[in-house]
A = this chain, B = another copy of it.
């Protein structure tokens, strides 16, 4: 469709020259007749809408906070015969999210997969269960939202626990399980005519800006951003987004305010709570949905909430 619009624009440029008008009108008609015969690139010709179609959608870390809000927001935009797979560690909270999504979105079947993506021995099984019985041809849009993540140890580097196992847990949850899940997703949903695929990483400012006493979180977020960027260049028909949601009113933010090793960071985050920079999960979901709906972002890019919304004046 984009190419068709361009063609029309080109024609209109010459339209003021009366001598060409008739010929152009005939050419326009001809272009419309021909358009059905022209071979448009697969993605443009066959990709369905972002929302309102039968979708398969995985959201990790969906038991609370931003993950729950994502499930509710996305759920209400999916079409009939959609399947939403929600995963988290906490079974009870996950069921709560599931019930809320089902109540708002009757056309969406919700499946819950309880499992700890930070536990190497359990993550692979959880990933397998997410796709059990899934037939890719049943969906017009497949989405994977990497939301699960852990802050890890919030100490200065000189104070980090020396054990590699402690470090590993954070990397398993934030990075390697995300990689394994992405690989599985791409295998179950390879490039296919008539199907759209979207992958979103709920990133952070920490992916691009170092923060004192958050070295683990910053490093894992940078790794995940880069992984997504690589995926974007490897698979040009997959829509990939590193979305940084802003400072949110969630348990994760509270954890930084109370536990971060750097007192300046703790104070800054606490002060932030009384400014317009502190967002609700609903506000950030709205911007993410706007980005996905408009679908004009550069695949693989890191986009912050404040790249979309106008920052408040000081």
Report the bound CA distance from A184 to B234 in whole Å. Answer: 38
| A58 sits at the interface (CB 8 A) | no
B180, A164: Cβ atoms closer than 8 Å: yes
Chain B: CB-nearest residue to A155: B183
| A279 sits at the interface (CB 8 A) | no
What mask results when residues 59 to 74 of chain A are scored 1 for a CB within 8 Å of chain B, else 0? 0000000000000000
* Chain A: interface size category: 35 or more
> For window 181-235 of chain A, which residues contact chain B by CB distance below 8 Å?
182-184, 186-187, 190, 207, 210-216, 218-227, 229-235
* Consensus secondary structure, chain A interface: helix
| A89 sits at the interface (CB 8 A) | no
* Interface core residue of A177, A223, A262 (most chain B CB under 10 Å): A223
User: Of A80-88, A142-150, A165-173, which binds chain B?
Assistant: A165-173
A186, B158: Cβ atoms closer than 8 Å: yes
Report the bound CA distance from A246 to B231 in whole Å. Answer: 23
A158, B187: Cβ atoms closer than 8 Å: yes
| A312 sits at the interface (CB 8 A) | no
B234, A212: Cβ atoms closer than 8 Å: yes
B210, A219: Cβ atoms closer than 8 Å: no
Contact of A183 among B162, B213, B223, B233 (CB under 8 A): B162
A184 — which chain B residues lie within 8 A by C-beta?
162
> For window 65-112 of chain A, which residues contact chain B by CB distance below 8 Å?
none
A222 — which chain B residues lie within 8 A by C-beta?
222-223, 225-226
User: If A171-B176, A182-B157, A300-B210 touch, does A164 touch B124 (CB 8 Å cutoff)?
Assistant: yes
| A123 sits at the interface (CB 8 A) | yes
| A51 sits at the interface (CB 8 A) | no
B172, A168: Cβ atoms closer than 8 Å: yes
List 10 interface pairs A-B (beta carbons < 8 Å), by A numbering. A157-B235, A158-B234, A160-B180, A164-B177, A175-B219, A211-B230, A211-B233, A212-B230, A218-B226, A222-B223
Contacts from A to B (Cβ < 8 Å):
120, 123-124, 127, 156-160, 162-165, 167-168, 171-172, 175-177, 179-180, 182-184, 186-187, 190, 207, 210-216, 218-227, 229-235, 262, 300
**New A-B contacts (14) at CB < 8 Å, excluding given A167-B176, A213-B234:** A124-B163, A157-B227, A157-B231, A158-B187, A158-B190, A159-B183, A168-B171, A168-B176, A212-B233, A218-B229, A219-B223, A221-B226, A223-B223, A234-B262
